[in-house]
Amino acid sequence: MTMRRSFAVSLLGGLLLAGCASKQDVGPVSAPTTPASAQEALRPYYASLAAKLPVAPPNPALADDTTLTRIAFGSCINENRAMAFWDVIAAQKPQAFLLIGDNVYGDTGATGAADIPTLSASYRKLSSRQEFDRFRRSVPMMTTWDDHDFGENDVGGSFAFKEWAEKAYESYWSSSAEVRGRPGVYESRIVGPEGKRVQFILLDTRFFRSDLVRMPYRDPGPSLGWYLPNVDPKATMLGDAQWQWLEGELTKPAELRFIISSTQVVTSAHNFEGWTNFPKERDRLYRLLADKGVNNALFLSGDRHAGGFYKADVPGLSRPVWDFTSSSLNFAFGRGNNADREPDPARTGGFWAIPNFGQIDIDWSAKKVTLSLRRDDGSVIEEQLVSPF
């Protein structure tokens, strides 16, 4: 019997026993309360667990006054596959690395147990990999999660075990007190002296997200995904608290901003996961950028097991908005350029389904940023030169 089932049986038994209390009992009998959600029902069980959660190797701090000229990022790491890419990225000498989702595949082989033992096992496996250990101890890192380290493929805020997944995430990545003190794993940081400040806004596109709308089943299935736009006015990508937080973050002074979303923002060319699933929420994001006059933001995204560059013209902004997708570090779903499979007017080049990482070089004197999608040997696949200042 899985923990999910055994816990449900235990909870039901408690409610039945409460309802069968003797009429001779002295004092009023309180009616049993029904948990408002699966998450609420599981909290007593989680509070009783004494499990020691895994912790990543120590990581050097990134000094607040660092003038950033090179950062790197990536997503989608299968902890059981080759990891030579870590040494390749380290050789590029990035000052920071952003790991932006599917940092392990912790849902592989999941049994439905509420403490998600496969997730803890995946974190431990990642820590055992020498290349990751070496990189983690030498390059400052920032992280957010996606579905496979959240707990289940394509799930969002209704995922029953999300609070334990959050606890495991915050334990492993040694999250800040600010992150630990609120639901979700979103956070922000500004690095650099005045005139060269870089803001990193790492969104949580899982913990609060509304359910996806799925197409009716058909055979053969659609080649570009099963999901339809969710147009429910109450549907959300970030949740109210994170939206309010994001608005506040965008008022902080910075010369350059990176908004990190685990799933793609700009493209609407597929029916897999992305902000395209919630068009009203994407419109809200664009309006927020325009209302705050944020012309200096670049989106970084992952999830797709392929990489590419995308841009969109947003009403109210004087420059195009770029979305740089890098995925996967070692788990690509192809052998080359899949552009013909997924035509996209928003994409500026190929759609590269080969192992890749993203590198970002900032030239403060020229006010230019070079975005380069790179193979796992460090060579350049494609580059884009942008002027977001």
Quick: pLDDT tens for 267-283. 999 999 999 999 999 99
Choose among 92, 100, 54: nearest CA to 74.
100
Q: Does the pLDDT at position 4 exceed 60?
A: no
d(CA 155, CA 389): 36
Average pLDDT of the segment spanning 122-138? 98
Whether 249 contacts 259, CB under 8 Å: no
Q: How confident is the model at residue 160 (pLDDT cuts 50, 70, 90)?
A: very high
**Chain segment 52-90, per-residue pLDDT in tens:** 999 999 999 999 999 999 999 999 999 999 999 999 999
Write out 91-129 in H/E/C secondary structure.
HCCCCEEEECCCCCCCCCCCCCCCCCHHHHHHHHHHHHC
Which amino acid is present at 257?
A: R
> Which pLDDT belongs to residue 51?
83
d(CA 11, CA 3): 12
> Which pLDDT belongs to residue 64?
98
d(CA 105, CA 122): 7
- Strand 213-214 relative to strand 198-202: parallel, antiparallel, unpaired? unpaired
Which amino acid is present at 240?
A: D
Average pLDDT of the segment spanning 101-125? 97
Residues contacting residue 381 through CB under 8 Å, at least 6 positions apart: 307, 350, 352, 354, 356, 372, 373, 374, 375
- Higher-confidence residue of 8 and 74: namely 74
Choose among 222, 209, 291, 217: nearest CA to 251.
291
Q: Find the DSSP H helices in 28-181.
A: 38-48, 85-91, 117-128, 130-136, 147-150, 162-172, 177-180
d(CA 76, CA 148): 9
Q: How confident is the model at residue 33 (pLDDT cuts 50, 70, 90)?
A: confident
Average pLDDT of the segment spanning 348-364? 98
Running DSSP on this structure, what letter comes out for residue 310?
E
Whether 200 contacts 260, CB under 8 Å: yes
Cα dihedral: 55, 60, 65, 69 (round 10): -100
Q: Is 308 helix (H, G, I), strand (E, B) or coil?
A: strand
List domains and CATH numbers for the chain.
Answer: 67-386 (3.60.21.70)
Choose among 68, 114, 58: nearest CA to 94.
68
How far from chain centre, in Å, is Cα 178?
Answer: 17
d(CA 172, CA 80): 18
Average pLDDT of the segment spanning 145-165? 98
369: tokens are 């940023």
Q: How confident is the model at residue 319 (pLDDT cuts 50, 70, 90)?
A: very high
Running DSSP on this structure, what letter comes out for residue 337?
B
